[in-house]
DNA sequence: GATTTATAATTGCAAATGCATATTATTTTG
DNA sequence: CAAAATAATATGCATTTGCAATTATAAATC
């Protein structure tokens, strides 16, 4: 009577529990495991350069999209606004980023990366590339591409902002 | 999917920078963004249940693999050993987990989940399942499966332990 | 156009985190 | 088998984090 007439892809399962899925089939678990290692591996390198994860993330984002309002940067960099505020304080005093008041909205401070900031990131990049390569070792280009495509869909599904 | 020109899977590129790859094509970036949202979304629910991310992760793992040494649990749950130690202290005093001395090695404490612990996780599970479903919304089963398969390979590539 | 509401960024503060170290138990080695 | 090296867990402590409240500005509403 109360048969589920589910459209296949969406929600057909009554409610599978984690134990039934299994950790190694549960994507969020695997992703947390992988990113935990990725971030831990990089943290070591960062420490040597006087960087922290929030600082590094801010620089990495700014190396691609410059001159961002702090609130946008927080979203891109996946760092809490207040944490980022303090990280930027240090980055600015170390000369790795620049703070420019937004001409149109005086509440906004726009952050740009400096040459020194780029240089710092360049020092870290080999490690990032190495860990990245390690992660995808033995995975063919086509599979990598499909993987990224799925990730892009997932981000669209889950994000709370327009970017 | 356009035919790839390059047969090389390993390392052929001279050294592409992040700016050239672009944030939205850089898998670790996308994964951090997605997991950042996933974890933030759940944190809210957890707070209501008196749980934190480390506590929740420990319970989730234990619901699948019970009776783990603390050191193994730390790996599975992606939580720092010292952080986990303190999280377990609280979980035990709240009666959500049990601590049993290992009969063969008296350095080891094995952690098991209690009925109360399972009940707490059951309360959280609907939210986890909801965010999980949201993440994969519109992504066909086949693509999901391929995605998980790639994740499994990646974990094998990057992990430092045998599990 | 004055008042309410919303947004950007900073900051105070308590709690959480992670590193280094301590403690206890086990394994290895000479 | 004593001494040294290794392993599992706990803990001291300085730092980091995130929430809530604050300040300052802008937008909306009446």
Give me chain B's average pLDDT, please: 90
Residue A161 lies inside a defined structural domain of this protein? no
Total domain count, chain A: 1
Give the CA distances from residue B32 to residues A13, A112, A154, B125, in Å, rounded to whole numbers and listed in that order.
28, 22, 12, 22
Residue A113 lies inside a defined structural domain of this protein? yes
Residue A30 lies inside a defined structural domain of this protein? no
* A111-125, B7-21, B44-58, B75-89: range with lowest mean pLDDT: B7-21
DSSP secondary structure code for residue A25 in this structure: G
Residue B79 lies inside a defined structural domain of this protein? yes
Q: CA A47 to CA A49: how far, in whole Å?
A: 5
Residue B69 lies inside a defined structural domain of this protein? yes
Higher-confidence position of A41 and A118: A118
What would the pLDDT profile of A86-121 be if each residue is shown by its tens digit? 999 999 999 999 999 999 999 999 999 999 999 999
The DSSP bridge partners found for residue A111 are A68, A99
Nearest CB to A34; choose among B121, B140, B154: B154
Q: CA A77 to CA A56: how far, in whole Å?
A: 9
Task: Give the pLDDT confidence score for residue A1 in this predicted structure.
Answer: 47
Mean pLDDT of B63-74: 96
Q: Verify whether the Cβ–Cβ distance B150 to A158 is below 8 Å.
A: no
Between the CA of B101 and the C1' of D13, what is the distance in angstroms? 29
Residue B5 lies inside a defined structural domain of this protein? no
On the question of pLDDT at A150 being above 70, the answer is yes
CATH number of the structural domain spanning residue B33 = 1.10.10.10
Residue A77 lies inside a defined structural domain of this protein? yes
Task: Give the pLDDT confidence score for residue B14 in this predicted structure.
Answer: 56
DSSP SS3 for B97 = strand
Residue of B53, B54, B137, B156 to mutate when probing chain A, most A C-beta within 10 A: B137
DSSP SS3 for A160 = coil
Contact A34, B154 (CB under 8 A): yes
Angle at which helix A53-64 crosses helix A115-135, to 10 degrees, equals 100
Instruction: Give residue for tokens 């020092």.
Output: A123
Can you give the residue range of the structural domain that contains A106?
51-125
Percent of chain B clearing pLDDT 90 (strictly above)? 77
Residue A1 lies inside a defined structural domain of this protein? no
Between the CA of A105 and the C1' of D26, what is the distance in angstroms? 8
Task: Give the pLDDT confidence score for residue A57 in this predicted structure.
Answer: 96
């Amino acid at each position: 009577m109360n048969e589920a007439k589910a459209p296949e892809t969406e929600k057909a399962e009554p409610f599978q529990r984690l134990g039934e899925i299994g950790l190694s089939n549960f994507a969020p678990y695997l992703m947390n495991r992988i990113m935990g290692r990725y971030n831990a591996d990089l943290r070591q390198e960062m420490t040597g350069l006087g960087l922290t994860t929030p600082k590094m993330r801010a620089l990495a984002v700014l190396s691609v999209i410059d001159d961002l309002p702090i609130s946008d940067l927080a979203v891109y960099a996946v760092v809490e606004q207040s944490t980022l505020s303090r990280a930027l304080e240090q980055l600015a005093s170390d000369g790795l980023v620049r703070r420019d008041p937004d001409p149109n909205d005086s509440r906004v401070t726009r952050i740009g990366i400096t040459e020194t900031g780029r240089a710092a990131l360049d020092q870290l990049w080999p490690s990032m590339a190495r860990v990245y390569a390690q992660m995808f070792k033995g995975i063919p280009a086509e599979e990598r591409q499909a993987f990224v495509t799925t990730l892009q869909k997932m981000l669209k599904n889950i994000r709370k902002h327009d970017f």
